[in-house]
A and B are shown apart, each in its own frame.
Chain A
């Protein structure tokens, strides 16, 4: 069974601070996706990483895929209240059309 473990589970920071959240597995993934889910809404796809060592930037968000494709990180610079939400990493699951999700990191950015 492919599992994705996310840490930390909860994170509360002040506006303007930097943060990093992690997504780790003992299994190799062909790709990993990061989603952000705001309260009461569905997950919104932020990025897909495919190549080991790949770094992608989305404004203040930096995503990295580990060299061995077993882990990924999301770094947010100068966090803003609009960054508040549940950050989920996901990768191809055991079934052909399954996504394996991590349990998520719940981020609160306090003004």
Chain B
């Protein structure tokens, strides 16, 4: 019944070694988000896709990239992970309906990927 699925749940990488995190959804939502969450902090939005349109947050480092090959899948690429990038990475989805002002603000989260950088 999982609706937003993130793989892997735990990822260990080396300093500077590229890593990709994946997210898939069965909700057919048109908006997908990637968040970074550090310990005991609120999630911080990195970027989102509205359909195929990519929207980067102004303070998201260039080190973070994303791909969305189709509606169901979205990937987070970290090109050269640093120690400060160790965190929980959360994928979320929402739907935007014509006139549906409320629906797009309700986001459904995956279980997250815990990234460790050695």
A residues with a Cβ closer than 8 A to B are 30-31, 33, 35, 40-45, 48, 50, 86, 88, 90-92, 95-99, 101-104, 106
A50 to B102, alpha carbons, bound, how many Å? 9
CB-based contact A104/B42 at 8 Å: yes
**Contacts of A101 on B, CB cut-off 8 Å?**
42-43
Instruction: Name the distance in Å between B48's Cβ and chain A's nearest Cβ.
Output: 5
**Contacts of A104 on B, CB cut-off 8 Å?**
40-42
Contact of A42 among B40, B105, B112 (CB under 8 A): B112
CB-based contact B106/A97 at 8 Å: no
CB-based contact B105/A33 at 8 Å: yes
B residues with a Cβ closer than 8 A to A are 4, 6, 31, 33, 40-43, 45, 48, 50, 55, 88, 90, 92, 94, 96, 101-102, 104-112, 114
CB-based contact A99/B45 at 8 Å: yes
Instruction: Name the distance in Å between A83's Cβ and chain B's nearest Cβ.
Output: 17
Instruction: Name the distance in Å between B8's Cβ and chain A's nearest Cβ.
Output: 13
A92 to B96, alpha carbons, bound, how many Å? 13
Instruction: Name the distance in Å between A101's Cβ and chain B's nearest Cβ.
Output: 4
Contact of B55 among A50, A97, A99 (CB under 8 A): A97
A41 to B31, alpha carbons, bound, how many Å? 21
A111 to B96, alpha carbons, bound, how many Å? 42
Given contacts A31-B105, A50-B102, is CB(A42)–CB(B90) below 8 Å?
Answer: yes
CB-based contact A97/B41 at 8 Å: no
A43 to B114, alpha carbons, bound, how many Å? 14
CB-based contact B42/A41 at 8 Å: no
**Contacts of A41 on B, CB cut-off 8 Å?**
111-112
Instruction: Name the distance in Å between A72's Cβ and chain B's nearest Cβ.
Output: 14
CB-based contact A33/B106 at 8 Å: yes
